[in-house]
Structure 1
Amino acid sequence: MSITLPAGGAPIPPADDEKPFGNLGVDPHGSRRSRAVNAYLARVTWPMMLAAGRSHPLVTAQMIQRTRPGLNRTIERLSPPPSGTQVELVRETFRGGQIRGEWVTGRRAADPQPGTRIIYYLHGSGYVVCSPRTHRGLVARLGNRTELSAFSLDYRLGPEHPWPCAGNDAIRGYRWLLAQGYRAEDIVVAGDSAGGHLALDLLAVNHATRTPQPGSMVLFSPLYDPTFDLAVDNQRSGVHDPIINAVTARKILRLYTRTADPDHPRMRIRLTPEMTLPKTLIQYGSLEVMGADARATHDEIVGAGGVSVIQAWPDQGHVFQLMPRLSAEARQAVDTAARFITVTAPTRTEPAS
């Protein structure tokens, strides 16, 4: 089933039998504040992106490593967690590898324990920056609105750890949750940007290894094509992202993908009709160059017979949900994602007496 809510106009109301998740509409009018913020970001970030794009790959790698701590701290300050958020760090050895991450429990969320629903969050940012700390605010807000705790994975980053290290970590993290006693149908996989590609990789590997699939999935501005060719073509067609220069971003992604075959099944992920796929919500900003990736992700799910709702949010940039202080629509988008998670909860059956 394909349900598309287009940008640039009021959402087309589907028939009742095509609206299984209730009202997940998008405000057809972007805010003046968002437009002003995006104009400012374009003036600040594009010169830096262009400078990085002109650098030698080794210089770019050194630049990423040098600027990563400061960039991460800036995002943390712009997206703080709500008051009352509890964080429990996890550092464990599991099946020959490390599980690193944190449990994030908002003040309205239930403590994580087997038998309850949880969110498994995979953060983004090109496989080279960010961490659970940068995304703690977004994860906590999503957890508060769903009343669910979330495990946010701290996967390995490039350029220090090349492909497929991050994907292997995401798969190990999911299996660790299953080993803790969480049922697959009670796990909501959520992620943004590169985390969207990790989520698709997880689904494909789960199918290949006969591992049960998660119950539902929410993706913010997901990456579909890690070669970034889709985004480059989108930029050349006239899309001007307020944050991302696609040509430079493609170079940065190669710090992680390196010499990986673009057609490797864990790079160019293909979903097929025999797969069991979770019901999925995809949100992206209408201004972002990765809109093509979001649409390709939606088409991949629908083409495999899955259910996907895709929303283009007017006048929004990449992963605008992360920055409620900068985007007036961030709160509304997270509320929408939370409603989707709530209505896709598995039906509980009472044991026979």
Structure 2
Amino acid sequence: MSKQQLRLIDQQLRQTSFGGTTIEEQRSAFERMSRGWRVSDRVSVTDEQLAGIPALRVEPLDGKRRGTILYFHGGSWIVGSPRTALGLTSELVARTGMSAFSLDYALAPEHPFPAGIESGVEAYRALLDSGLDPAQIAFAGDSAGGGLSVTTALAARAAGLPLPGAIVAFSGGFDATRSGESMESKADADPLLTRAALEASGSLYLAGQDPDQELLSPATRADLAGFPPMLLQVGSNEVLLDDSTRLAVRAAAAGVDVILDVTADASHVFQALVGVLDEADAALDRAAQFLSARIAA
């Protein structure tokens, strides 16, 4: 592990502009940024649909093992696509031998809460209707998509569907109230996210809804009893650090098999820097090991 790598990436992130004045400009900027992230050459990628929702199907080239990942991309619920998350999705597929569907779920402001969650539930229902065993399905996602990996499971359970076999979240957003102490204590350490930016994108997603509810703030409100094994990976320099730490405590109190995996001095969704940052490769190896043990065995 290289502290020098982490310091260099921190400096680069602080010098990079990710914003724009319009939603379309922000989406274009995020797409451009994602082109610099490595995509594994050990997978095939095809366009697919789940319940009429566009998705990317990612398959290993080296022989498929049992198990399917339903992946939710990041982007603060307003930007991003399966293509922007292809680096993470492809690396999970290459490392596990499982297949994946990366979902192009509904985004705000055109489709605010709970549209993205509804997309996830319908896609999951389509996988179940195709004959897949829920115990052989994992939900995974990064940032806002990490949050959706949990809230989609909550909504699926409420709709009478069985829970998936495992959940993996990279730097998940689990608290729309922004009440975690790390929102303040990590404000200077986080080179990427700010409270103001999160509140701006969050207001578009909420569209006037109260954030203090289970499907928006599972870290403080969710009933996680009976949930499948969960792996929560997060960097110690994130303002969202306490989203993961509090969700882990809540899961453990509910009797859930949960692993809280905190990487020192790492920033938001550092796993996307696979091939550049040693910690990213190591974290993805641990995520693949978790999935293989819970799903593909």
Same fold (TM over 0.5): yes
Match of 2:250 among 288, 300, 321: 300
Relative to structure 1, is the Cα distance of residues 290 and 156 closer, same or farther in structure 2, using a 3 angstrom cutoff? same
2:31 corresponds to 1:72:
yes
Partner of 1:6: none
For residues 211-255 of structure 1, what are the alpha-carbon distances to aligned partners after superposition, in whole Å with 9 as ceiling and x for unaligned?
11111111111111123343xx42323542011112222112211
Q: Point out the structure with max Rg over C-alpha.
A: 1
Give structure 1 regions of 4+ aligned residues with deviation exceeding 4 angstroms. Answer: none
C-alpha distance in 2, partners of 1:84/1:207? 34
* Residues 279, 308 of structure 1: 8 Å contact kept: yes
2:83 corresponds to 1:129:
no
* Residues 222, 297 of structure 1: 8 Å contact kept: no
For residues 4-47 of structure 1, what are the alpha-carbon distances to aligned partners after superposition, in whole Å with 9 as ceiling and x for unaligned?
xxxxxxxxxxxxxxxxxxxxxxxxx65311211112212334xx
Question: CA-atom RMSD, angstroms?
Answer: 2.1
For residues 286-338 of structure 1, what are the alpha-carbon distances to aligned partners after superposition, in whole Å with 9 as ceiling and x for unaligned?
11111011112212211221110101101210001012244221111100111
C-alpha distance in 2, partners of 1:188/1:91? 18
Within a 5 Å distance, the mapping from 1:156-195 to structure 2 comes to: 156-195=106-145
C-alpha distance in 2, partners of 1:124/1:164? 16
C-alpha distance in 2, partners of 1:41/1:102? 28
Partner of 1:37: 9
Partner of 1:210: 160
C-alpha distance in 2, partners of 1:30/1:250? 33
Partner of 1:26: none
* Residues 68, 129 of structure 1: 8 Å contact kept: yes
Partner of 2:270: 320
Unaligned runs of 5+ in 2: none
Equivalenced residue count is 294
C-alpha distance in 2, partners of 1:71/1:306? 35
Relative to structure 1, is the Cα distance of residues 205 and 67 closer, same or farther in structure 2, using a 3 angstrom cutoff? closer
Query: In the TM superposition, what is the alpha-carbon distance from 1:89 to its structure 2 partner?
Result: 0.9
Query: In the TM superposition, what is the alpha-carbon distance from 1:346 to its structure 2 partner?
Result: 6.8
Partner of 1:23: none
C-alpha distance in 2, partners of 1:336/1:109? 21
Relative to structure 1, is the Cα distance of residues 335 and 84 closer, same or farther in structure 2, using a 3 angstrom cutoff? closer
Relative to structure 1, is the Cα distance of residues 72 and 227 closer, same or farther in structure 2, using a 3 angstrom cutoff? farther
2:237 corresponds to 1:287:
yes
Relative to structure 1, is the Cα distance of residues 199 and 65 closer, same or farther in structure 2, using a 3 angstrom cutoff? same
Unaligned runs of 5+ in 1: 1-28, 53-59, 348-353
Q: Does the residue aligned with 1:218 lie in a helix, a strand or coil? A: strand
User: For residue 198 of structure 2, what is the amino acid of its counterpart?
Assistant: A
Relative to structure 1, is the Cα distance of residues 234 and 320 closer, same or farther in structure 2, using a 3 angstrom cutoff? same
Report % sequence identity. 31
Q: Which has the bigger relative contact order, CA under 8 A and spacing at least 6?
A: 1
* Residues 74, 145 of structure 2: 8 Å contact kept: yes
2:45 corresponds to 1:87:
yes
User: For residue 69 of structure 1, what is the amino acid of its counterpart?
Assistant: S
Partner of 1:255: 204
C-alpha distance in 1, partners of 2:186/2:170? 22
Query: In the TM superposition, what is the alpha-carbon distance from 1:189 to its structure 2 partner?
Result: 1.0
TM-score (normalised: structure 1): 0.78
Q: Does the residue aligned with 1:344 lie in a helix, a strand or coil? A: helix
Relative to structure 1, is the Cα distance of residues 325 and 84 closer, same or farther in structure 2, using a 3 angstrom cutoff? closer
Q: Which piece of structure 1 moves more, 334-343 or 193-202?
A: 193-202
Q: Does the residue aligned with 2:237 lie in a helix, a strand or coil? A: coil
Query: In the TM superposition, what is the alpha-carbon distance from 1:100 to its structure 2 partner?
Result: 1.5
User: For residue 107 of structure 2, what is the amino acid of its counterpart?
Assistant: L
Relative to structure 1, is the Cα distance of residues 264 and 346 closer, same or farther in structure 2, using a 3 angstrom cutoff? same
* Residues 271, 304 of structure 1: 8 Å contact kept: no
Partner of 1:21: none
